[in-house]
Amino acid sequence: MLDLLAEAYDRKSWHGPNLRGSIRRVSASEAARSPGPGRKSIAQIVLHAAYWKYTVRRRILGEARGSFPLKGSNWFELPNPYSEPAWRAATKFLDEQHRLLVAAVSKMTPADLNRVTPGGRYPLGFVIRGIALHDVYHAGQIQILKALGKN
């Protein structure tokens, strides 16, 4: 599980850019650009990914909801204008949420992977694989948004 999380987030993998690699060398203006009305930006995707890393970690540890540092859930509005310091803070925040998730997963036993948390529907192993796939999905989405921004 730890290898899967690393490949999806920041370790070299055969499939192309992982999530962290997809945002390398992206400026704040690129990160804030939306491809159209009602469409998400790279920066919003980064905060969304951080939120779901937090959610999975919270489920693993059995923590209560409501401790996410940003107001809201899932998708977040960006300040306008969106600055380089805000973008650097968002990427640092994503790194921190990933690090905390990896720390929680590293403490799990093999039996924990089959555990379904209270209120949950899926075994934790399924959820952890899902968060890794979530990273890969959004890495691809970010690659497309970057290409669209060049046109």
- Kindly report, residue by residue over 10-41, the tens digit of the pLDDT: 998 888 899 999 999 999 999 999 999 999 99
- Of 147, 140, 150, residue with least CA distance to 21: 140
Sign of CA dihedral 73, 97, 109, 129: positive
Give me 107's structure tokens.
């403490």
pLDDT in tens, 87-110: 999 999 999 999 999 999 999 999
Q: Is the pLDDT of residue 135 over 70?
A: yes
CB 113 within 8 A of CB 123: yes
Burial class (CB in 10 A: 0-12, 13-18, 19+), 36: exposed
The CATH fold of domain 2-149: Four Helix Bundle (Hemerythrin (Met), subunit A) (1.20.120)
Domain regions of the chain by residue span: 2-149
Q: How far is CA 100 from CA 5, 10, 81, 123, in A?
A: 12, 14, 30, 20
Give the residue among 106, 7, 9 at the shortest CA–CA distance from 49: 9
| pLDDT reading at 151 higher than 80 | no
Residue 147 has φ and ψ, to the nearest 5°, of -65, -40
Average pLDDT over residues 134-149: 95
Q: Does 136 or 16 have the greater pLDDT score?
A: 136
Is 70 in a helix, a strand, or coil? coil
Of 38, 45, 56, the closest CA to residue 93 belongs to 45
* Average pLDDT score over the chain: 94
**Helix/strand/coil for 138:** helix
Tell me how crowded residue 124 is: count the other CB atoms within 10 A of its CB: 21
